């Protein structure tokens, strides 16, 4: 326990749960709306939040980038959503999938579900399913809303409408509880998507973050930037003894030693916590997130 405090990276990884809670609360501050069955419709809704956070969540203060992207691409006025694409590139380049691990409410939701005790299964053999999310991104988020349009060029937000379980969890369920008119409008589509949510919930208890690994188009976008993002994970080769504890600790099935910046890495820091030699840490723009007090550290290592 003491040793953790010596390293800022470990500290960050250690309080990840609290950062996730804070991020969820910050992007969903309008709690009273839950009881009134309405959504916040102020100016902040024109800005995107980094994580997968439904626009229709009563408490949400911003828009989901995936939803916004589809809405703009699918509208008859615009051909492509430059503002949202730019926003996603900016976030991708600065943080990459750190957003998945620390800021996304649906990621946190899956983390919490996975804490429910019981038998857990590895997803190492299901690696090919990872590519599914890129197909979903291309087909449901970009191509279908863009081209499956009506006579005046309007498309549906296909991902939001037919797949997204976060929309059911944050939007449909609380809104239909608080609003009688919306409750009366629920139909087959709701039942279908509620089924998806239940499936994701059950899978999240058995596997670690199945939605992030296989489905999430937002994670797919950020994953493309993981290799180049300002926020990196670095391994000090001089300290590494090749014990492979990091890879064993990794719940995203990454060989941390060889590919610390793999597209699947959500920067959760499990490897940082697991490393017996403190050889792994976060790095932002070339600066390591390590306490400068090296003397203290050395004494710590000697103590071991």
Partner 1 sequence: MKTKRTFIPVFTLSVALLLTACNGKEAADTKKTQTTQTESGTEAVTGSVAESETETAGASGTKLDDLYQQENQIFADHADVWNKVFGMMNKSTADPSGNYGDYLADTVEANKDSFSEDELNTLTDDIATIRKIEEQIAEMENGNTASEDSNAKNDSEEASPFRDFSGQDYDGNTVDESLFSKNAVTVVNFWFTGCKPCVAELSKLNELNDAIKSMGGEVVGINTETFDGNQDAIKEAAAVLESQGAKYRNLSIDSASAAGKYASDIMAFPTTILVDRNGNIVGEPMLGGIDNQENYDTLMKQIQSVIDADSAK
List interacting residues with partner 1 (CB under 8 A). 1, 35-36, 38-39, 41, 56, 71, 74-77, 112, 115-116, 150-152, 154-156, 175, 177-185
**Closest of 24, 28, 62, 29 to residue 45, by C-alpha:** 62
For residue 284, the cross-strand partners are 231, 287
Minimum distance between the CB of residue 82 and partner 1, rounded to whole angstroms?
17
Q: Which is nearer to partner 1, 168 or 221 (CB)?
A: 168
Inter-residue contact 255 to 91 (CB < 8 Å): no
Q: Which is nearer to partner 1, 20 or 223 (CB)?
A: 20
Q: Which is nearer to partner 1, 9 or 33 (CB)?
A: 33
Cite the DSSP H helix spans in the chain. 8-14, 16-27, 33-36, 65-74, 82-94, 98-102, 105-114, 132-136, 144-147, 158-162, 165-166, 173-178, 180-185, 188-206, 210, 217-223, 245-249, 270-274, 294-303
Token pair of 234, please? 């670095």
Minimum distance between the CB of residue 8 and partner 1, rounded to whole angstroms?
20
Q: Which is nearer to partner 1, 40 or 214 (CB)?
A: 40
Q: Which is nearer to partner 1, 132 or 186 (CB)?
A: 186
Inter-residue contact 39 to 19 (CB < 8 Å): no
Residue 83: strand, helix, or coil: helix
């Amino acid at each position: 326990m003491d040793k953790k405090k010596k390293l800022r990276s470990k500290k960050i990884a250690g309080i990840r749960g609290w950062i996730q809670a804070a991020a969820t609360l910050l992007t969903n501050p309008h709690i009273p709306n839950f009881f009134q069955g309405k959504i916040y419709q102020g100016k902040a809704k024109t800005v995107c939040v980094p994580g997968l956070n439904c626009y229709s969540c009563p408490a949400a203060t911003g828009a989901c980038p995936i939803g916004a992207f589809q809405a703009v691409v699918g509208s008859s006025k615009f051909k492509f959503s430059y503002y949202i694409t730019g926003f996603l590139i900016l976030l991708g380049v600065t943080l990459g999938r750190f957003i998945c691990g620390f800021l996304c409410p649906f990621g946190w939701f899956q983390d919490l579900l996975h804490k429910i005790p019981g038998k857990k299964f590895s997803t190492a053999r299901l690696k090919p399913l990872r590519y599914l999310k890129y197909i979903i991104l291309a087909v449901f988020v970009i191509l279908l809303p863009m081209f499956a349009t009506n006579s005046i060029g309007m498309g549906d937000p296909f991902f939001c409408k037919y797949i997204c379980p976060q929309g059911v969890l944050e939007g449909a369920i609380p809104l239909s509880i608080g609003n009688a008119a919306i409750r009366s409008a629920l139909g087959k589509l709701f039942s279908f998507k509620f089924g998806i949510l239940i499936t994701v919930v059950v899978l999240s208890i058995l596997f670690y973050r199945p939605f992030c690994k296989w489905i999430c188009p937002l994670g797919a976008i950020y994953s493309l930037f993981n290799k180049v993002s300002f926020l990196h994970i670095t391994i000090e080769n001089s300290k590494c003894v090749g014990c492979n504890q990091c890879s064993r600790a990794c719940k995203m099935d990454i060989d941390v030693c060889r590919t610390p910046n793999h597209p699947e890495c959500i920067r959760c820091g499990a490897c940082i916590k697991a490393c017996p030699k403190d050889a792994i840490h976060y790095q932002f723009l070339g600066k390591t997130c390590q306490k400068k007090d090296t003397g203290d550290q050395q004494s710590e290592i000697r103590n071991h």
